[in-house]
Amino acid sequence: MTEKLPHAPEKLTEKLAAFTVSFKLESAPKRALDNAKTAILDCLGVSVLATSQEIGAALLRFARAHASQGTCTLWGTAVTTSARDAALLNGTLAHGLDYDDRNHSSTYSLSTSVAVAEPADLSGARTLEGFIVGREVRNSLDALFGRRSSGIGPGARGWHSNGILGSIASACAASKLLRLSVPQTQAAIGLAAGSCGALTRDGGTMAKPFRTGQAAGTGLTCAMLAQSGFTSDDAVLEGRYGLLEALGPTPEDVLQTLATDLGSKFNLETEPRIKPHSSCSATHNGLEAMLRLVEKHPVKAESVQSIECDIKPYPLVRRTPQRGFEGRFSMAFCLALALIYRRVKPDDFVNENVDDPAVQELMRRARHNPEAPELVVTLKDGSRLVEDLQHPSNLHGWDQVASKFHACVDGILQKRAADAARECVACLENLTSVRELTRQLRTAD
């Protein structure tokens, strides 16, 4: 009998595998299906947008030089490639601008599922099953990282959940679509669990979105290996010297919550938290407070003496960005953009804005006030402008997310293709083939 890590759930690896194999679309509540499609639409939109920016250009250069031939679509481009390369590349694009939903698990769950479904000409319903399995498996383990801001768990020690849990979730999504057995799915999980990794230090660099792509490509590879007869430890998560122990120490009450409700309650019954801003979630309460402040007061950059806010050195590890891409993980940079331009757009995170003397000066004037409940802008005449920090806003409902989708793909996809893609997602469970969707995501050469 396999020795178990004390306090770890019994047969955790097997439980994930059993859920993966047994899940059927009809067992998910309608609200979970609706929320899944909303998350998918958002994920596709931000992925396509990423092709027009710095990270997309780098990925396209890589794909054209090194990607394998195949029939899988690299979303928002004319490139087609193999399933494993498509999972890697689309999974990276999906998180490329930090504009995907706050949970981030849509990135690898969708890219993996579509990478299996498209070349096999699987239905939209099958693709949706894989996506839901990936998200639900990931979120059933998310408590491991839930207390990082309190200094508890692997997240507080520098591990990042996307790369740790993402490969396991992706392995399960792929296993579902490949129709693996429970032992085969356990083997895929076992292979994935030892192939994971991501660091909080990655934040603000292209390494962070690469981890979601890496999770997708790794998970798919592990499922394919399991299908081919590869084996691994069947208690790789909960067994002694397995993943949970390697990530530990983890409090007993956290360990005992892992996958407790998997299959009986669905994380997707809760509305996905869709971002309105293309930067790390930790910047959003500050930049939104600044946007409210400048709407009330006609503040000019040259009149500012200081800006006080909780700059959040953790997880915002790019206090003084050197490149535009890093600005997504800098509260000071986001505050400066919001004050100067009265908005923060996805294409604002460019080197030209980092090098702007006005932006540089405002960043120098930003002061860290730990756990401060408010943003304070002090002017050179001594005036103090104060705005309370609030919970970050989210987009709600299909219509708001569809508007974001169209804003993202405008100028990249033709309007009729964008409209068709949106409608394909809206009725995804009824599509005979997922290719009806992916062909709308291709551009002309």
pLDDT tens across 64-108, in order? Answer: 999 999 999 999 999 999 999 999 999 999 999 999 999 999 999
pLDDT at 271 over 60: yes
Of all residues in the chain, what percent carry a pLDDT higher than 90?
A: 92
Of all residues in the chain, what percent carry a pLDDT higher than 70?
A: 100
How much is the average pLDDT of 278-282?
Answer: 97
pLDDT at 208 over 70: yes
Q: Which residues of the chain does CATH 3.30.1330.120 include?
A: 281-388
pLDDT at 445 over 80: no
- Domain 281-388: give its CATH code: 3.30.1330.120
CATH fold of 12-272+399-441: 2-methylcitrate dehydratase PrpD (1.10.4100)
Question: Closest Cα to residue 148, out of 134, 163, 158, 140?
Answer: 158
pLDDT at 1 over 60: no
Residue 87 is encoded by which pair of tokens?
Answer: 């999972």
Q: Which residues of the chain does CATH 1.10.4100.10 include?
A: 12-272+399-441
| Interval 321-342: pLDDT, tens | 999 999 999 999 999 999 999 9
How much is the average pLDDT of 171-195?
Answer: 97
C-alpha 403/C-alpha 38 separation (Å) is 12
| Interval 117-175: pLDDT, tens | 999 999 999 999 999 999 999 999 999 998 887 888 898 898 999 999 999 999 999 99
How much is the average pLDDT of 31-45?
Answer: 98
Residue owning tokens 């971002």: 275
pTM for the structure as a whole: 0.96
On the 0-12 / 13-18 / 19+ scale of CB atoms within 10 A, 229 is exposed
What is the pLDDT at residue 5?
Answer: 82
C-alpha 386/C-alpha 428 separation (Å) is 46
309: helix, strand or coil: strand
What is the pLDDT at residue 2?
Answer: 65
